[in-house]
Chain A
Amino acid sequence: MPKTLYDKIWDSHVIVPETDAPAIIFIDLHLIHEVTSPQAFDELRKRGLRVRRTDLTVGTADHSIPTTTRVISPTEDREAYDQVTKLTTNCRDFDIRLYGLGTAEQGIVHVIGPELGVTQPGKTIVCGDSHTSTHGAFGALAFGIGTTEVGHVLASQSLLQRKARNLEISVSGQLKPGVTAKDVILYIISKIGTAGGSGCVIEYTGSAIRALNMDGRMTVCNMSIEAGARAGMVAPDDTTFEYLAGRPMAPQGAEWDKAVARWRTLPTDAEAAYDRAISFSADDIEPMISFGTNPGMTIPITGIVPADDTEELRKALKYMALEPGKPLLGHPIDVVFIGSCTNSRLSDLRAAAEVFKGRKVAANVRTVVVPGSQQIKNLAEAEGLDKIFKEAGAEWRESGCSMCIAMNADKLEPGQISVSTSNRNFEGRQGPGGRTLLASPLTAAASAITGRVTDLRRLSRT
């Protein structure tokens, strides 16, 4: 029977098939971080259990750590210090590989998995973080789980799970200049809504998706959860294999050849049917920006804020202090954040640096650039990107989740409005009372220069 990419990965990981009870599936890679793991380790201790597969478990600290320094201070943030220390203790006690604060491999969990080559096609990958869908860019089945489930995977390397439906979202044609992967996914969510992918695993297909590099595919898959989907994936191809070749934890030598041969069998069979399919044309996609308080509330950057004809929109626009019927272009902003598991990779930083080069950020705008990992930081610095950011007047930080989740000192003040390359514009997401406009690194950088919401395509080189 012809199968989709998702069907193939699912079928090859079922240990016990679904009955009244969910299936038990095997997990190939478990990523852990400081925020959603401590209570899971406590549960293991309470039950006297060990971690079943320490070889399939990788930890890092990313959410609550500072990005101004590589040392976490108990006097500045006792709770964050305790949380990060607890992760270190847990990984030591349970013999888990930890790329902790201060190591060369540390970074946002969804950035370092691919970078280390431990994220691979055909794997089942979980993490106590909803943006685990990022890893689906490699043709893996990757999704976020809760802390109780983190405990299940630590103890059993498996998970109770019901199969989701297959949803194909295809984007055909060629993206227009100035339109990025971030615009593609924001566009998709604006069309299908924040619950549009509920109960589904999305496979992104079509020439516009296929043409994206791995960083771009990760950006698209990353925000699948913002459409309510369990996971998002892109079939592996030569772009995928080129990215992975030679990575430290990717297969090497003869093992590599065998792996690639196996990975080539993963893409959806020609005759396979999806439960649902939605098609979009790249021609219709403009640079996008959110105006409201969920990622579905997104418009083309040249568009106008829609009428507040529902209770939800009234509430959102009131919170955002935006007027219906008015353009967002030219709206003054306070902060620009370039970073997060959505847009903190080298391609994102290069794109932003290209805009910043030879320009200065507006005097009244605080601009913070946070690389996704220490490795990306080093690569960016080797190319001189840090100098471009600093000369433009932006802050250049150490890696972490930073202002995407505002668990450390990086946050908006109440009432401030940001253009942010992160993934969520929920009320208070970037700090209590803070307001977020989600956009691409290009739009964020252009807006930093003018101090207003700006369409890069209209930014003059003076």
Chain B
Amino acid sequence: MSKLDRVTSRVTCYTAINVDTDQIIPARFLKRIDKVGFGDHLFADLKPKEVFEIPDARRREILIAGPNFGCGSSREHAVWAIRDFGFRVLISTSFADIFKENSLKNGVLTIDVDEPTHLSLVETFQKSPEAEMTVSLVEQKLKYGEVQASFAVNSFSRTCLLEGLDELGFILRHEAQIFAFEQSH
């Protein structure tokens, strides 16, 4: 997994509620057998102007999304599309369960914030689409202008992202326990 410690970028705000993984990448694009090029099909049918009709759309690494982002199908292709499009950090009030797991496994940080914080972030970056935000995972802080806001992230996810920890390698380090479990069941 690729590392992530600090991202400084302009911010895309696309805050529709319940954006499902079929919207993130429609099923007809799921026939590829590799992980390449999915960014070209991100939001292929929706084409939200908040994402596409802005300067340097594909150079923005931070997306402020709406509640329950990534609900629906378990397709990891949704995260591959988001990552390939350019995003490394997603901020919302909530993410769907499987989507959140898939994000972490692809070096994409999901940050849960409360509603007032979400609202103020959206207001700020809608007003100043060229303003930059810095997300520091080491400090667990969002920084923009004079503002600094802390965010919570569980320590395992944080370590995974900071160190680029290989989760499969982590599991396989417990091979002896897995073997013992198999023997006793």
Chain A residues with a Cβ under 8 A of chain B: 15-16, 20-22, 24, 26, 35-36, 38-39, 42-43, 47, 52-53, 63-64, 77, 79-80, 82-83, 86, 128-130, 144-149, 151-152, 155-160, 194-195, 198-199, 225-226, 228, 230, 294, 296, 311-312, 315, 405-407, 424, 426-429, 432-433
**In the complex, which of the residues A148, A226, A228 contacts B76, with contact meaning CB atoms closer than 8 Å?**
A148
- Asked, given contacts A130-B74, A230-B97, whether A156 binds B168 with beta carbons under 8 Å apart, the answer is yes
Residues in A whose Cβ lies below 8 Å from that of B28: 406-407, 432
Beta-carbon contact of B72 and A432 below 8 Å: no
What B residues does A149 contact at CB under 8 A? Answer: 101, 105
B181 and A26 form a contact (CB under 8 A): yes
Q: CA A135 – CA B108 in complex, angstroms? A: 30
Residues from chain A with Cβ under 8 Å of B33 in the complex? 38-39, 42, 82-83, 86
Q: Does B98 sit within 8 A of A, measured CB to CB?
A: yes
Please determine whether B155 and A428 come into contact, CB atoms closer than 8 angstroms: no
A152 touches B76 (CB 8 A): no
Q: Does B23 contact A (CB under 8 A)?
A: yes
Q: Does B131 contact A (CB under 8 A)?
A: no
Contacts of B94 in A (CB 8 A): 195, 198
Q: A128-B74, A198-B94 are in contact. Are A294 and B16 (CB under 8 A)?
A: no
**Within 8 Å CB of A147, what residues of B?**
76-77, 102
A423 to B182, CA, bound (A): 36
Interface with A: B82-90, B142-150, B172-180, which one? B172-180
Nearest residue, chain B, Cβ from A428: B45
Chain B residues in 8 Å Cβ range of A26: 178, 181-182, 185
Number of A-B contacts (CB under 8 A): 165
Bound Cα distance A144, B99 (Å):
11
Further contacts, 13 of them, CB under 8 A, given A130-B72, A312-B17 = A21-B170, A24-B171, A129-B73, A147-B102, A148-B106, A155-B168, A195-B94, A407-B31, A424-B22, A424-B72, A424-B73, A426-B72, A427-B23
Q: List 8 A-B contacts (CB under 8 A).
A: A26-B181, A79-B31, A144-B98, A146-B74, A149-B105, A160-B170, A199-B97, A228-B68
* Contact present for A407 and B27 (CB under 8 Å): yes
Check B31 against A160 for contact (C-beta < 8 Å): no
Question: Quick one: given A426-B22, A429-B22, A432-B26, are A36 and B74 in contact (CB under 8 Å)?
Answer: yes
Using Cβ atoms and an 8 Å threshold, which residues of chain A touch B45?
Answer: 427-428, 432-433
Closest-CB distance, A412 to chain B (whole angstroms): 12
Complex Cα–Cα for A199 and B95 (A): 10
Residues of A with C-beta under 8 A to B34? 38-39, 42
Give the CA-CA distance A296 to B18 in the complex, in Å: 10
| CB pair B31 A24 closer than 8 Å | no
B54 at the interface (CB under 8 A from A): no
Closest to B167 in A: A160
Task: Please measure, in the bound complex, the distance between the C-alpha atom of A428 and the C-alpha atom of B21, giving whole angstroms.
Answer: 11
A228 proximity list for chain B (CB < 8 A): 68, 71, 96-97
Contact string against A for B residues 36-58, beta-carbon threshold 8 Å, 1 for contact and 0 otherwise = 00000000011000000000000
B20 at the interface (CB under 8 A from A): yes
Contact assessment for B27 and A145 in the assembled complex, using a CB-CB cutoff below 8 Å = no
Who on chain B is nearest to A64 by CB?
Answer: B31
Residue of B nearest to A21 (CB): B156
CB distance from B98 to the nearest CB of A (A): 6
Within 8 A of A (CB), among B143-167: 154-156, 159, 167
Given contacts A20-B155, A128-B74, A426-B72, contact A158 B20 (CB under 8 A): no
